[in-house]
Homo-oligomer: A and B are copies of this chain.
Amino acid sequence: MEKMSFGQILEEKGLKKTKVRMALLHHFLQLKHAQSYNDLQLALKNEIDKSTLYRNLTSFEQAGIIHRINDHSGTSKYAFGELPKGGQDHAHFVCENCETVYCMEVSTPLQLNVPKGFKTKNVQTIIKGICSKC
């Protein structure tokens, strides 16, 4: 279960091993930061149809291969890996300078106290600031 090939990942999720998906997966694995639709199109030299790419991003997300990030920029970002169950222990750092979106493992789960009668299912945090490269 440690070293899975692209094909194995897709097979495990019940997704057909297509050219587009293999290329997409290849790029996701070697890119460190969250990617936008445009980032991916650029990386893949615009060889993939728009709707095909969007549909695959949705499939990958549903299969838990990637997760979708709302960084408040107006366009979604996508990063490799599934969100932890409940989404509690994951946050995203958005650099105000270079716009890079980093996935952050949150060591201490945030404890937000909500009013009586409110039931928390999931906490999603966006941290804005300046990244180590800027």
Contacts and interface: CB of A to CB of B under 8 A. Distances in A.
Contacts of A116: 132
A85 interface: no
Interface in A48-72: 70, 72
Interface residues of A, number: 33
Closest 5 CB pairs of A and B: A117-B132, A121-B129, A122-B128, A120-B129, A119-B130
20 contacts: A72-B124, A91-B112, A93-B118, A96-B121, A104-B112, A106-B112, A108-B111, A110-B125, A112-B125, A112-B127, A115-B132, A116-B132, A118-B129, A118-B130, A120-B129, A121-B128, A123-B126, A123-B127, A124-B125, A124-B127
